[in-house]
Amino acid sequence: MSMRMPTNVVDIAKNVKEILSDAEGGHDWYHIERVWKNALNIHRHEKKGDLYIIQLAALLHDIADAKFHDGDEAIGPETARKIMTQHQVPETVIEEVIRIIENMSYRSSFSELPYTSVELDIVRDADRLDAIGAIGIARAFNYGGFKNRPLFDPNIDPVEIISKESYVKNTGPTINHFYEKLLKLKDMMKTQKGKELAIERHEFMCGFLEQFYKEVR
Ligand code: ADP
Ligand code: NI
């Protein structure tokens, strides 16, 4: 790679891989690696944003997700800070990465005063790409299985998600998650490359849903 690549990015990646060794299948090291690669790809086309910050945010964004820690929203940023401090990341960079991590999740998209930056847009698009398409389908059903949710229930309709609370406390069937969130992501992409890559994945999900309902009805 010709880009500036501080050696501690690779050290931090190794550290993250160890920490996530028993993570849920949709939020494991390979999710992080895909987001990291997606982010590098988007950055290459955008030609904007600090690549060091982008990579650290991609690597650390799911290090301790609140949904696997009883809703504790402090544990992710705290863990990310600890790791960056151990690897001698400068304080100004740590602050920036933490702000990105705090504002990346879908939960945060309901916040009234959303934080924005080029780096956030790139890493969030990279993460959203991994929530859609074939990999998105696999991750959604794995998460639903992990939470012991039904695949499909003809008596429970998708709900309108209008707040962080309604998003977090929703326990509906996994198929509903496509209508509640995943199908909306294509139009929420911020970067040009992200938008482009989202189209094919979005269409694949639409085809999947069509076939799914053909089979279950
Ligand atoms: P959150 O949406 O909780 O802020 P993420 O954006 O990281 O966090 O969500 C990541 C992924 O977790 C989703 O793309 C999806 O694969 C899975 N997921 C989250 N909530 C659900 C759900 N209710 N049903 C199925 N999958 C889910
Ligand atoms: Ni993620």
Atom of ligand 1 nearest to the CA of 168: 3
User: CA dist 56 to 50, 97, 201, 207, Å?
Assistant: 10, 7, 26, 35
Q: Identify the CA nearest to 56 among candidates 120, 111, 3.
A: 120
d(CA 197, CA 23): 27
Q: What is the dihedral of CA 117, 31, 44, 50, to 10 degrees?
A: 40
pLDDT 10s per residue in the chain (217 long)?
Answer: 445 566 799 999 999 999 999 999 999 999 999 999 999 999 999 999 999 999 999 999 999 999 999 999 999 999 999 999 999 999 999 999 999 999 998 888 888 888 999 999 999 999 999 999 999 999 999 999 999 999 999 999 999 888 988 888 888 999 999 999 999 999 999 999 999 999 999 999 999 999 999 999 8
Ligand with minimal distance to 205 CA: 1
Cβ pair 137, 174 in contact under 8 A: no
Residues with CB under 6 A from ligand 1: 26, 67, 105-107, 131, 139-140, 143-144, 170, 174, 177
Q: Name 200's Cβ contacts closer than 8 Å, sequence gap at least 6.
A: 133
Q: In one letter, which amino acid is 111?
A: S
Look at ligand 1, atom 5, and give the residue with the nearest C-alpha: 105
The residue to mutate among 20, 63, 106, having the most atoms of ligand 1 within 8 angstroms of its beta carbon, is 106
| Distance (Å) from CA 56 to ligand 1 centroid | 21
pTM of the model: 0.95
Q: Whose CA is nearest to atom 17 of ligand 1?
A: 140
Distance CA 50, CA 44 (A): 11
Q: Output the CA 152–ligand 2 centroid distance in Å.
A: 24
CA distance 140 to 132: 9
- One-letter amino acid at 217 equals R
Q: How far is the CA of 207 from the centre of ligand 1 (A)?
A: 21
From 101, 139, 142, 146, the mutation candidate for ligand 1 (largest count of ligand atoms within 8 A of CB) is: 139
Q: Are 16 and 32 in contact (CB under 8 A)?
A: yes
Concatenated DSSP letters of 173-217: -HHHHHHHTGGGGGGG--SHHHHHHHHHHHHHHHHHHHHHHHHH-
Residue 128 near residue 199 (C-beta atoms within 8 A) = no
